[in-house]
Amino acid sequence: MNNLLSLGSKFPEFKKISVVSTEKGKEFSDLSSQDHIKAGKWMVMFWYPKDFTFVCPTEIAEFNKNYEEFRDRDAVLIGASTDTEFVHLAWRKDHKDLKELKFPLLADTSKSLAEALGILEANEKVAYRVTYIVDPEGIIRWVSANDLNVGRNVKEVIRVLDALQTDELCPCNWEKGQDTLKVA
């Protein structure tokens, strides 16, 4: 990774095509960096290397199982890779765990967004397995990067989102409902 865009940085502006459905005529929609900001919501964008692979669908399916958890936290959930919208659609139609996704899969075919984020793998130019939590003002508040072979922990993404949304001091292993730290 070169120059990973990190904490406190403004998330790059983008307008990309995404796959939002497998229903004929309703498959694609434009997605913009301004969508979550205009709605006053948090954004959780998770990047994965390639469609039609092995670790990626386990992560996407797990995010989908937890979709309501993100929605209940006023967070827009977006999956993203450098594959085309047509490959995303074919994969969703082909893979039983991806047919009924409740969130969009963004197609960064130009690789411009992945490049701006600094998350392109050097040889194949695919995105690393990186997760961003972005606040309603468009500021990156959390970044987690995994090796291409290692899937992420969706419950940890939710835990961190909860902690960030308290806007308080959260100790190690803090979970929603527990006391935050008070400065005396």
How far, CA to CA in Å, does 13 sit from each of 103, 114, 139, 173? 20, 12, 11, 33
- At 52, which amino acid appears? F
Residue 170 annotated as catalytic: no
Crossing angle (nearest 10°) for helices 55-65 and 154-166: 50
Length reported for the chain: 184
Of the residues 44, 56, 98, 133, only one is catalytic, namely: 56
At residue 45, what are phi and psi to the nearest 5 degrees? -115, 120
Active site residues: 56
